[in-house]
Amino acid sequence: MNLHDLTLAQTARALADKQFSSREVTQHYLDRIARLDKTYNSFITVTAEQALAEADAADARRAAGNAAFLTGVPFAHKDIFCTQGVRTSCGSRMLDNFISPYDATVVAKYREQGLVMLGKTNMDEFAMGSSNETSWYGPVKNPWDTGCVPGGSSGGSAACVAARLAPGATATDTGGSIRQPAALCGITGLKPTYGRVSRWGMIAFASSLDQAGPMARTAEDVALLLGAMAGFDPKDSTSLDRDVPDYAAALGNELAGLKIGVPKEYFGAGLNPQTAERVQAALREYEKLGARLVEISLPHSHLAVPAYYVIAPAECSANLSRFDGVRYGYRCENPQDLMDLYCRSRAEGFGEEVKRRILVGAYALSAGFYDAYYRKAQQVRRLIQQDFVEAFKEVDVIMGPTSPSPAFAFGAKGSDPVAMYLEDIYTIATNLAGLPGMSLPCGLVDNKPVGLQVIGNYFDEARMLNVAHRYQQVTDWHAQAPAGVMA
Protein backbone atom coordinates (compact mmCIF):
# COMPACT_ATOMS: atom_id res chain seq x y z
CA MET A 1 0.00 0.00 0.00
CA ASN A 2 1.24 3.49 -0.88
CA LEU A 3 1.51 6.01 1.94
CA HIS A 4 -1.12 8.23 0.31
CA ASP A 5 -3.60 5.33 0.46
CA LEU A 6 -3.71 5.77 4.24
CA THR A 7 -6.26 7.99 5.90
CA LEU A 8 -5.11 10.59 8.37
CA ALA A 9 -5.99 8.34 11.32
CA GLN A 10 -4.20 5.39 9.76
CA THR A 11 -1.14 7.57 9.15
CA ALA A 12 -1.10 8.63 12.81
CA ARG A 13 -1.35 5.00 13.99
CA ALA A 14 1.40 3.90 11.61
CA LEU A 15 3.67 6.68 12.89
CA ALA A 16 3.00 5.55 16.47
CA ASP A 17 3.85 1.96 15.46
CA LYS A 18 7.09 3.19 13.81
CA GLN A 19 6.11 1.72 10.42
CA PHE A 20 7.67 4.82 8.85
CA SER A 21 8.91 8.22 10.00
CA SER A 22 7.29 11.60 9.68
CA ARG A 23 10.09 12.66 7.35
CA GLU A 24 9.34 9.71 5.06
CA VAL A 25 5.61 10.38 4.82
CA THR A 26 6.15 14.14 4.51
CA GLN A 27 8.65 13.68 1.69
CA HIS A 28 6.21 11.30 0.00
CA TYR A 29 3.48 13.96 -0.05
CA LEU A 30 5.89 16.72 -1.12
CA ASP A 31 6.98 14.55 -4.06
CA ARG A 32 3.34 13.98 -5.04
CA ILE A 33 2.60 17.71 -4.85
CA ALA A 34 5.62 18.51 -7.04
CA ARG A 35 4.53 15.86 -9.56
CA LEU A 36 0.76 16.26 -9.64
CA ASP A 37 -0.29 19.71 -8.49
CA LYS A 38 0.63 21.29 -11.81
CA THR A 39 -2.62 19.67 -12.93
CA TYR A 40 -4.85 20.65 -9.99
CA ASN A 41 -3.38 24.01 -8.83
CA SER A 42 -4.56 23.22 -5.30
CA PHE A 43 -1.58 24.88 -3.54
CA ILE A 44 -0.56 28.54 -3.60
CA THR A 45 2.56 28.01 -1.50
CA VAL A 46 4.42 24.76 -0.80
CA THR A 47 6.62 24.96 2.31
CA ALA A 48 8.87 21.99 1.56
CA GLU A 49 11.93 23.02 3.58
CA GLN A 50 9.85 24.03 6.60
CA ALA A 51 7.77 20.84 6.35
CA LEU A 52 10.82 18.60 6.47
CA ALA A 53 12.18 20.52 9.46
CA GLU A 54 8.82 20.10 11.23
CA ALA A 55 8.84 16.39 10.34
CA ASP A 56 12.30 15.95 11.85
CA ALA A 57 11.12 17.72 14.99
CA ALA A 58 8.09 15.43 15.13
CA ASP A 59 10.28 12.35 14.79
CA ALA A 60 12.43 13.65 17.65
CA ARG A 61 9.29 14.14 19.78
CA ARG A 62 8.22 10.56 19.11
CA ALA A 63 11.67 9.26 19.95
CA ALA A 64 11.57 11.20 23.22
CA GLY A 65 8.16 9.77 24.07
CA ASN A 66 6.28 13.08 24.32
CA ALA A 67 4.32 13.02 21.06
CA ALA A 68 0.60 13.72 20.67
CA PHE A 69 -1.49 11.31 18.58
CA LEU A 70 -1.28 13.54 15.48
CA THR A 71 2.40 14.45 15.84
CA GLY A 72 4.17 14.07 12.52
CA VAL A 73 1.03 13.81 10.37
CA PRO A 74 1.22 16.00 7.23
CA PHE A 75 -1.65 18.33 6.32
CA ALA A 76 -2.34 21.62 4.50
CA HIS A 77 -3.65 25.01 5.67
CA LYS A 78 -6.11 27.05 3.65
CA ASP A 79 -4.33 30.27 2.70
CA ILE A 80 -6.70 32.34 4.84
CA PHE A 81 -4.91 31.45 8.09
CA CYS A 82 -2.00 33.66 9.11
CA THR A 83 1.19 31.61 9.30
CA GLN A 84 4.28 33.22 10.78
CA GLY A 85 7.04 33.73 8.23
CA VAL A 86 4.96 32.31 5.36
CA ARG A 87 2.95 34.16 2.72
CA THR A 88 -0.74 34.47 3.61
CA SER A 89 -2.44 35.66 0.42
CA CYS A 90 -6.15 34.88 0.87
CA GLY A 91 -6.13 34.08 -2.84
CA SER A 92 -5.79 37.79 -3.67
CA ARG A 93 -3.35 40.05 -5.45
CA MET A 94 -3.98 42.43 -2.55
CA LEU A 95 -2.02 40.14 -0.17
CA ASP A 96 0.32 38.47 -2.64
CA ASN A 97 3.35 39.95 -0.86
CA PHE A 98 2.06 39.64 2.73
CA ILE A 99 4.26 37.57 5.07
CA SER A 100 2.42 37.12 8.33
CA PRO A 101 4.34 38.09 11.49
CA TYR A 102 2.26 35.74 13.67
CA ASP A 103 0.31 32.49 13.70
CA ALA A 104 -3.47 32.25 13.76
CA THR A 105 -4.78 30.37 16.78
CA VAL A 106 -5.71 27.36 14.62
CA VAL A 107 -2.17 27.33 13.21
CA ALA A 108 -0.66 27.60 16.70
CA LYS A 109 -2.82 24.74 17.99
CA TYR A 110 -1.69 22.48 15.16
CA ARG A 111 1.93 23.43 15.76
CA GLU A 112 1.53 22.46 19.43
CA GLN A 113 0.19 19.07 18.35
CA GLY A 114 3.19 18.61 16.07
CA LEU A 115 1.33 18.33 12.77
CA VAL A 116 3.44 19.05 9.69
CA MET A 117 2.29 21.81 7.32
CA LEU A 118 2.93 20.93 3.67
CA GLY A 119 1.81 24.36 2.42
CA LYS A 120 -1.06 26.79 1.90
CA THR A 121 -3.99 25.88 -0.33
CA ASN A 122 -5.65 27.86 -3.09
CA MET A 123 -9.03 29.50 -2.50
CA ASP A 124 -11.56 31.94 -3.90
CA GLU A 125 -10.32 35.49 -3.32
CA PHE A 126 -11.01 36.50 0.29
CA ALA A 127 -13.22 33.39 0.50
CA MET A 128 -15.79 34.94 -1.87
CA GLY A 129 -16.99 32.33 -4.32
CA SER A 130 -18.50 28.88 -4.77
CA SER A 131 -16.24 27.52 -7.50
CA ASN A 132 -12.62 28.56 -6.78
CA GLU A 133 -12.60 30.54 -10.03
CA THR A 134 -11.99 33.94 -8.36
CA SER A 135 -8.47 33.22 -7.07
CA TRP A 136 -5.68 35.56 -8.24
CA TYR A 137 -3.58 32.39 -8.67
CA GLY A 138 -5.96 30.75 -11.12
CA PRO A 139 -8.74 28.21 -10.65
CA VAL A 140 -8.37 24.92 -8.83
CA LYS A 141 -9.35 21.87 -10.88
CA ASN A 142 -11.53 19.10 -9.53
CA PRO A 143 -9.54 15.82 -9.41
CA TRP A 144 -12.66 13.88 -10.44
CA ASP A 145 -12.97 15.91 -13.65
CA THR A 146 -10.37 18.57 -14.38
CA GLY A 147 -12.83 20.37 -16.64
CA CYS A 148 -15.04 21.04 -13.61
CA VAL A 149 -14.79 23.25 -10.55
CA PRO A 150 -13.93 21.81 -7.11
CA GLY A 151 -16.37 24.13 -5.32
CA GLY A 152 -15.39 27.05 -3.15
CA SER A 153 -14.11 28.91 -1.41
CA SER A 154 -12.08 26.05 0.14
CA GLY A 155 -11.61 24.36 -3.23
CA GLY A 156 -7.84 24.04 -2.86
CA SER A 157 -8.15 22.22 0.46
CA ALA A 158 -10.84 19.91 -0.92
CA ALA A 159 -8.96 19.16 -4.12
CA CYS A 160 -5.64 18.42 -2.42
CA VAL A 161 -7.33 15.91 -0.09
CA ALA A 162 -9.30 14.31 -2.94
CA ALA A 163 -6.11 14.03 -5.06
CA ARG A 164 -4.27 12.45 -2.11
CA LEU A 165 -1.79 15.34 -1.93
CA ALA A 166 -2.50 15.62 1.81
CA PRO A 167 -4.48 13.42 4.20
CA GLY A 168 -6.29 16.42 5.66
CA ALA A 169 -6.59 20.20 5.48
CA THR A 170 -8.01 23.18 7.28
CA ALA A 171 -10.75 25.23 5.67
CA THR A 172 -13.31 27.94 6.42
CA ASP A 173 -17.04 28.16 5.89
CA THR A 174 -18.99 31.44 5.62
CA GLY A 175 -21.96 30.17 3.62
CA GLY A 176 -20.99 26.63 2.69
CA SER A 177 -17.31 26.90 1.81
CA ILE A 178 -16.32 23.71 3.62
CA ARG A 179 -19.37 21.58 2.86
CA GLN A 180 -19.96 22.45 -0.82
CA PRO A 181 -16.37 21.74 -2.02
CA ALA A 182 -16.28 18.63 0.18
CA ALA A 183 -19.40 17.43 -1.64
CA LEU A 184 -18.06 18.25 -5.12
CA CYS A 185 -14.70 16.58 -4.41
CA GLY A 186 -16.03 13.49 -2.64
CA ILE A 187 -14.51 14.04 0.81
CA THR A 188 -15.78 14.76 4.33
CA GLY A 189 -15.85 18.31 5.73
CA LEU A 190 -17.33 19.88 8.84
CA LYS A 191 -18.28 23.44 9.77
CA PRO A 192 -18.45 23.61 13.59
CA THR A 193 -20.85 25.63 15.70
CA TYR A 194 -20.06 29.36 15.46
CA GLY A 195 -17.60 30.13 18.27
CA ARG A 196 -16.36 26.54 18.67
CA VAL A 197 -13.09 27.30 16.80
CA SER A 198 -11.15 30.54 17.20
CA ARG A 199 -11.25 33.02 14.32
CA TRP A 200 -8.20 34.94 15.59
CA GLY A 201 -5.67 35.19 12.79
CA MET A 202 -8.16 33.98 10.19
CA ILE A 203 -8.56 36.79 7.66
CA ALA A 204 -12.15 37.98 7.97
CA PHE A 205 -14.77 37.94 5.25
CA ALA A 206 -18.05 38.17 7.23
CA SER A 207 -17.30 38.12 10.93
CA SER A 208 -20.70 36.89 12.18
CA LEU A 209 -20.66 33.98 9.71
CA ASP A 210 -17.04 32.82 9.25
CA GLN A 211 -16.01 29.60 10.96
CA ALA A 212 -12.94 27.39 10.60
CA GLY A 213 -13.22 23.64 10.26
CA PRO A 214 -11.46 20.51 8.97
CA MET A 215 -11.55 18.53 5.73
CA ALA A 216 -10.39 14.94 5.29
CA ARG A 217 -11.45 11.66 3.74
CA THR A 218 -13.36 10.18 6.68
CA ALA A 219 -15.44 11.27 9.65
CA GLU A 220 -12.81 9.74 11.93
CA ASP A 221 -10.12 11.95 10.38
CA VAL A 222 -12.34 15.02 10.70
CA ALA A 223 -13.02 14.19 14.35
CA LEU A 224 -9.29 14.12 15.08
CA LEU A 225 -8.60 17.38 13.25
CA LEU A 226 -11.54 19.15 14.90
CA GLY A 227 -10.40 18.06 18.35
CA ALA A 228 -6.99 19.61 17.65
CA MET A 229 -8.38 23.00 16.55
CA ALA A 230 -11.43 23.51 18.82
CA GLY A 231 -11.41 25.35 22.13
CA PHE A 232 -11.79 28.69 23.83
CA ASP A 233 -9.50 31.53 22.79
CA PRO A 234 -9.42 34.74 24.87
CA LYS A 235 -8.02 36.60 21.85
CA ASP A 236 -11.29 36.01 19.95
CA SER A 237 -14.30 37.85 21.38
CA THR A 238 -16.67 35.45 19.60
CA SER A 239 -15.00 32.32 20.98
CA LEU A 240 -17.18 30.35 23.40
CA ASP A 241 -15.79 28.89 26.62
CA ARG A 242 -16.98 25.29 26.50
CA ASP A 243 -15.17 22.02 27.10
CA VAL A 244 -14.03 20.22 23.96
CA PRO A 245 -15.19 16.59 23.94
CA ASP A 246 -13.10 13.72 22.62
CA TYR A 247 -14.81 13.58 19.25
CA ALA A 248 -13.03 10.40 18.18
CA ALA A 249 -14.11 8.56 21.33
CA ALA A 250 -17.78 9.08 20.44
CA LEU A 251 -17.50 7.26 17.12
CA GLY A 252 -19.16 3.90 16.71
CA ASN A 253 -22.24 4.45 18.88
CA GLU A 254 -25.41 2.76 17.66
CA LEU A 255 -28.01 4.82 15.77
CA ALA A 256 -31.10 2.97 16.99
CA GLY A 257 -33.79 5.52 17.78
CA LEU A 258 -32.00 8.42 16.07
CA LYS A 259 -34.55 10.85 14.61
CA ILE A 260 -33.46 12.35 11.30
CA GLY A 261 -35.30 15.43 10.09
CA VAL A 262 -35.76 15.63 6.32
CA PRO A 263 -36.77 19.18 5.26
CA LYS A 264 -39.37 19.08 2.51
CA GLU A 265 -38.02 22.42 1.22
CA TYR A 266 -34.67 20.74 0.36
CA PHE A 267 -36.19 18.36 -2.21
CA GLY A 268 -38.07 20.74 -4.49
CA ALA A 269 -37.34 22.61 -7.69
CA GLY A 270 -33.68 23.23 -8.47
CA LEU A 271 -32.37 19.93 -7.08
CA ASN A 272 -30.76 17.64 -9.66
CA PRO A 273 -32.98 14.50 -9.79
CA GLN A 274 -30.02 12.11 -9.72
CA THR A 275 -28.54 13.97 -6.75
CA ALA A 276 -31.87 13.60 -4.99
CA GLU A 277 -31.82 9.84 -5.68
CA ARG A 278 -28.36 9.44 -4.12
CA VAL A 279 -29.38 11.41 -1.03
CA GLN A 280 -32.59 9.41 -0.67
CA ALA A 281 -30.58 6.18 -0.95
CA ALA A 282 -28.33 7.39 1.88
CA LEU A 283 -31.38 8.15 4.01
CA ARG A 284 -32.65 4.61 3.43
CA GLU A 285 -29.27 3.31 4.58
CA TYR A 286 -29.73 5.20 7.82
CA GLU A 287 -33.11 3.54 8.28
CA LYS A 288 -31.35 0.17 8.04
CA LEU A 289 -29.03 1.36 10.82
CA GLY A 290 -32.02 1.95 13.09
CA ALA A 291 -32.71 5.64 12.52
CA ARG A 292 -36.19 7.03 11.88
CA LEU A 293 -36.92 9.61 9.17
CA VAL A 294 -39.19 12.51 10.11
CA GLU A 295 -40.41 15.02 7.53
CA ILE A 296 -39.93 18.55 8.81
CA SER A 297 -40.39 22.05 7.46
CA LEU A 298 -37.96 24.97 7.47
CA PRO A 299 -40.47 27.51 6.15
CA HIS A 300 -38.07 30.46 5.86
CA SER A 301 -35.28 28.53 4.12
CA HIS A 302 -36.07 30.17 0.77
CA LEU A 303 -35.05 33.50 2.31
CA ALA A 304 -31.58 32.30 3.34
CA VAL A 305 -29.79 33.26 0.10
CA PRO A 306 -31.20 36.81 -0.17
CA ALA A 307 -30.60 37.46 3.56
CA TYR A 308 -27.05 36.14 3.33
CA TYR A 309 -26.22 38.25 0.28
CA VAL A 310 -27.10 41.38 2.22
CA ILE A 311 -25.43 40.47 5.53
CA ALA A 312 -22.22 38.93 4.18
CA PRO A 313 -21.38 41.75 1.71
CA ALA A 314 -22.16 44.34 4.38
CA GLU A 315 -19.69 42.75 6.76
CA CYS A 316 -17.17 42.21 3.98
CA SER A 317 -17.28 45.88 2.98
CA ALA A 318 -16.36 46.80 6.56
CA ASN A 319 -13.68 44.11 6.98
CA LEU A 320 -11.94 44.82 3.68
CA SER A 321 -11.78 48.57 4.23
CA ARG A 322 -8.42 48.02 5.96
CA PHE A 323 -6.77 47.05 2.67
CA ASP A 324 -5.94 50.55 1.46
CA GLY A 325 -2.40 50.38 0.07
CA VAL A 326 -0.97 52.19 3.08
CA ARG A 327 -0.02 49.72 5.80
CA TYR A 328 0.55 46.38 4.07
CA GLY A 329 -0.47 44.48 0.98
CA TYR A 330 -0.65 45.66 -2.61
CA ARG A 331 0.15 49.29 -3.41
CA CYS A 332 -0.27 50.88 -6.83
CA GLU A 333 2.74 52.41 -8.55
CA ASN A 334 3.41 56.16 -8.53
CA PRO A 335 0.21 57.43 -6.86
CA GLN A 336 -0.47 61.10 -7.48
CA ASP A 337 -1.97 61.74 -4.05
CA LEU A 338 -3.59 59.87 -1.15
CA MET A 339 -6.95 59.49 -2.86
CA ASP A 340 -5.28 58.10 -5.97
CA LEU A 341 -3.34 55.67 -3.76
CA TYR A 342 -6.55 54.40 -2.14
CA CYS A 343 -8.55 54.15 -5.35
CA ARG A 344 -5.97 52.54 -7.60
CA SER A 345 -4.58 50.16 -4.94
CA ARG A 346 -8.05 48.78 -4.25
CA ALA A 347 -9.10 48.76 -7.91
CA GLU A 348 -5.96 46.90 -8.96
CA GLY A 349 -5.62 44.70 -5.86
CA PHE A 350 -9.17 43.30 -5.66
CA GLY A 351 -10.85 41.02 -8.19
CA GLU A 352 -14.28 41.51 -9.72
CA GLU A 353 -16.28 39.36 -7.27
CA VAL A 354 -14.71 41.06 -4.26
CA LYS A 355 -15.46 44.49 -5.73
CA ARG A 356 -19.05 43.43 -6.42
CA ARG A 357 -19.61 42.38 -2.82
CA ILE A 358 -17.94 45.47 -1.38
CA LEU A 359 -20.23 47.67 -3.46
CA VAL A 360 -23.36 45.71 -2.49
CA GLY A 361 -22.37 45.81 1.17
CA ALA A 362 -21.56 49.51 1.20
CA TYR A 363 -24.92 50.22 -0.43
CA ALA A 364 -26.81 48.09 2.10
CA LEU A 365 -25.15 49.92 5.00
CA SER A 366 -25.52 53.41 3.59
CA ALA A 367 -27.78 56.05 5.10
CA GLY A 368 -31.33 55.60 3.93
CA PHE A 369 -30.91 51.93 3.04
CA TYR A 370 -29.69 50.38 6.32
CA ASP A 371 -33.20 49.77 7.68
CA ALA A 372 -34.59 48.58 4.36
CA TYR A 373 -31.84 46.05 3.70
CA TYR A 374 -29.38 45.23 6.49
CA ARG A 375 -31.79 45.45 9.41
CA LYS A 376 -34.46 43.54 7.50
CA ALA A 377 -31.95 40.82 6.58
CA GLN A 378 -31.01 40.44 10.24
CA GLN A 379 -34.70 40.05 11.13
CA VAL A 380 -35.03 37.32 8.49
CA ARG A 381 -31.92 35.69 9.93
CA ARG A 382 -33.68 35.43 13.27
CA LEU A 383 -36.67 33.71 11.63
CA ILE A 384 -34.37 31.19 9.94
CA GLN A 385 -32.67 30.45 13.25
CA GLN A 386 -36.04 29.98 14.94
CA ASP A 387 -37.05 27.43 12.27
CA PHE A 388 -34.08 25.29 13.30
CA VAL A 389 -34.82 25.74 17.02
CA GLU A 390 -38.34 24.40 16.45
CA ALA A 391 -37.10 21.54 14.26
CA PHE A 392 -34.59 20.35 16.84
CA LYS A 393 -37.39 19.98 19.36
CA GLU A 394 -38.58 17.06 17.21
CA VAL A 395 -35.40 15.56 15.68
CA ASP A 396 -31.76 14.84 16.56
CA VAL A 397 -30.12 15.77 13.25
CA ILE A 398 -31.29 17.16 9.91
CA MET A 399 -30.21 15.68 6.57
CA GLY A 400 -30.49 16.63 2.93
CA PRO A 401 -28.36 17.43 -0.11
CA THR A 402 -25.24 19.54 0.30
CA SER A 403 -25.29 21.01 -3.20
CA PRO A 404 -28.03 21.12 -5.87
CA SER A 405 -25.91 19.21 -8.40
CA PRO A 406 -22.48 17.63 -8.90
CA ALA A 407 -19.49 19.72 -9.98
CA PHE A 408 -20.18 22.01 -12.94
CA ALA A 409 -17.89 23.05 -15.77
CA PHE A 410 -15.57 26.03 -15.56
CA GLY A 411 -17.29 29.18 -16.78
CA ALA A 412 -20.76 27.65 -16.62
CA LYS A 413 -22.00 30.16 -14.05
CA GLY A 414 -19.39 32.91 -14.26
CA SER A 415 -21.61 35.32 -16.16
CA ASP A 416 -24.54 34.90 -13.75
CA PRO A 417 -23.63 35.74 -10.13
CA VAL A 418 -27.10 34.78 -8.87
CA ALA A 419 -26.82 31.29 -10.37
CA MET A 420 -23.45 30.94 -8.65
CA TYR A 421 -24.89 32.14 -5.33
CA LEU A 422 -27.65 29.48 -5.54
CA GLU A 423 -24.96 26.78 -5.35
CA ASP A 424 -25.03 27.44 -1.57
CA ILE A 425 -28.80 27.29 -1.24
CA TYR A 426 -28.75 24.30 1.16
CA THR A 427 -25.74 25.38 3.22
CA ILE A 428 -26.20 29.10 3.92
CA ALA A 429 -28.96 28.74 6.52
CA THR A 430 -26.70 26.93 8.99
CA ASN A 431 -24.22 29.84 8.92
CA LEU A 432 -27.01 32.35 9.48
CA ALA A 433 -28.17 30.27 12.46
CA GLY A 434 -24.64 29.53 13.74
CA LEU A 435 -25.30 25.77 13.64
CA PRO A 436 -22.78 23.01 12.83
CA GLY A 437 -23.04 21.29 9.47
CA MET A 438 -21.04 18.69 7.59
CA SER A 439 -20.94 16.94 4.23
CA LEU A 440 -19.99 13.36 3.49
CA PRO A 441 -19.87 11.45 0.19
CA CYS A 442 -23.03 9.47 -0.58
CA GLY A 443 -22.74 8.50 -4.24
CA LEU A 444 -21.71 9.43 -7.77
CA VAL A 445 -23.60 11.04 -10.65
CA ASP A 446 -21.85 10.78 -14.02
CA ASN A 447 -18.73 9.74 -12.07
CA LYS A 448 -18.80 12.93 -10.02
CA PRO A 449 -19.37 12.92 -6.25
CA VAL A 450 -22.58 13.81 -4.44
CA GLY A 451 -22.61 15.01 -0.84
CA LEU A 452 -25.05 14.28 1.99
CA GLN A 453 -25.40 17.21 4.39
CA VAL A 454 -25.83 16.59 8.12
CA ILE A 455 -26.94 19.53 10.27
CA GLY A 456 -26.73 19.27 14.05
CA ASN A 457 -27.92 21.25 17.04
CA TYR A 458 -25.55 23.69 18.71
CA PHE A 459 -22.32 22.03 19.91
CA ASP A 460 -23.57 18.62 18.78
CA GLU A 461 -20.58 17.90 16.54
CA ALA A 462 -19.83 14.63 18.35
CA ARG A 463 -23.24 13.20 17.45
CA MET A 464 -22.90 14.40 13.83
CA LEU A 465 -19.47 12.79 13.48
CA ASN A 466 -20.77 9.53 14.90
CA VAL A 467 -23.73 9.62 12.50
CA ALA A 468 -21.33 10.13 9.57
CA HIS A 469 -18.91 7.48 10.82
CA ARG A 470 -21.61 4.81 11.16
CA TYR A 471 -22.67 5.45 7.55
CA GLN A 472 -19.06 5.21 6.39
CA GLN A 473 -18.71 1.86 8.18
CA VAL A 474 -21.41 0.33 5.93
CA THR A 475 -20.67 2.17 2.66
CA ASP A 476 -17.49 2.90 0.72
CA TRP A 477 -18.25 6.19 -1.04
CA HIS A 478 -15.68 7.95 1.16
CA ALA A 479 -13.00 5.43 0.09
CA GLN A 480 -13.44 5.96 -3.63
CA ALA A 481 -10.84 8.06 -5.40
CA PRO A 482 -10.65 9.97 -8.69
CA ALA A 483 -9.14 8.00 -11.56
CA GLY A 484 -5.36 8.04 -11.56
CA VAL A 485 -4.67 9.65 -8.20
CA MET A 486 -3.85 6.45 -6.30
CA ALA A 487 -0.80 5.67 -8.45
Catalytic residues: 78, 153, 177
Residue 444, amino acid = L
**Interatomic CA distance for residues 37 and 141, integer angstroms:** 10
**Interatomic CA distance for residues 340 and 332, integer angstroms:** 9
**Interatomic CA distance for residues 434 and 460, integer angstroms:** 12
Cβ–Cβ < 8 Å for 412, 139: no
